[in-house]
Amino acid sequence: MSELVVVLSDAQLDALAERVAARLNGNGHAAEEPDALLTAREAAQKLGQKLRWIYGHRAQLPVVELPGRGLRFSERGIERLIKKRTTK
H helix or E strand, kind and range, residue 67: none
- In-domain check, residue 46: yes
Tell whether 20 is covered by a domain: yes
pTM for the model? 0.61
pLDDT of residue 14: 66
Question: What's the confidence (pLDDT) of residue 42?
Answer: 95
26 located within any domain: yes
Instruction: Give the Cα separation of 8 and 1 in Å (integer).
Output: 23
Over residues 46-60, the pLDDT tens digits come to 999 999 999 999 888
Within-domain flag for 67? yes
Please report the pLDDT score of residue 55 as a whole number. 92
The total of structural domains in the chain comes to 1
Residue 80 is predicted with a pLDDT of: 87
pLDDT under 50 in the chain at which residues?
Answer: 31
CA-angle at 77, arms to 5 and 83, nearest 5°: 165
Residue 57 CA to residue 32 CA, distance in Å, equals 29
3 lies in a domain?
Answer: no
Task: Give the SS3 label for residue 37.
Answer: strand
How many CB atoms are located within 10 Å of the residue 57 CB?
Answer: 12
Whole-number pLDDT of residue 20: 77
Domain hosting residue 23, numbered range: 10-87
